[in-house]
Amino acid sequence: MQENNSWIFAIGFLAQLFFSARILYQWIASEKAGKVLSPPIFWILSVLGSYLLFLYGVLRNDFAIILGQFLSYYIYLWNLHMQGQWKKIANIIKIVLILTPVVATGFILRDLSVFDEAFFHNKDVPLGLLIFGSAGQVIFALRFVYQFFYSAARHESILPVGFWIISLVGSSIIISYAIFRQDPVLLLGQSFGFVAYIRNIMIAYKSRKITVYEK
């Protein structure tokens, strides 16, 4: 790891710290409740982690990371709104949160030839590996698309069992991508979450059995 890149990796590790903290908090809260919960702090930490990981993806010229974060970032904000947390945020911060990914994407795309060279002809990320990693990020991000429609239909923020199943599939691909990419940030973040996803599936099914039994 080159010294001049250490600060970039520091941003990535900080982002994964937020993501790991959200999973740990949600996991502990769900264990105590005996059912899968969707606490507000989960979404607050998601926004912070996604914001930093998006920046990390830009600095690493990693289109797969950028794509994955862009797909899920605004769903995090929507969940904050559903839980009544969005209105507590100062307007200037709301504007920054909403516009930053859009402005950053516009900055990246300002010169399509440079963008194509940096992201699709990057010697560190062959096209085949990029497609593989992007597929993992898309699947991983689709868990929040699924969660969005599931929650919107019920008018509340919920983390259904399907969310965790999709998480497992996407995480498996991203871990493989991280190994090929030699990316410690992705590898560390996904390895921690992998265990929590399995446990949440177990909690969800156990809670469902108890509910059926009580009926």
pLDDT digits (tens, 9 = 90+) for 7-46: 888 998 999 899 989 999 999 999 999 888 999 999 999 9
**Is the distance from CB of 53 to CB of 69 less than 8 angstroms?**
yes
pLDDT class for 2, splitting at 50, 70, 90? very low
pLDDT at position 212 is 46
The set of residues, in sequence order, having a beta carbon less than 8 Å from that of 30 and lying 6+ positions away, is 36, 37, 200, 203
pTM, 2 dp: 0.80
pLDDT at position 118 is 62
pLDDT at position 68 is 80
What's the count of helices (H) and strands (E) in the chain, helices before strands?
Answer: 8, 0
| 173-214: pLDDT as tens digits | 989 988 888 888 888 878 878 888 998 999 988 877 655 455
Does an H or E element contain 137, and which? Answer: helix 127-154
The set of residues, in sequence order, having a beta carbon less than 8 Å from that of 155 and lying 6+ positions away, is 82
Question: Is the pLDDT reported for residue 66 higher than 80?
Answer: yes
For 23, 56, 98, 169, 192, the CA distances from 176, given in Å and listed in that order, are: 21, 19, 31, 11, 14
**Average pLDDT of the chain, as a whole number:** 85
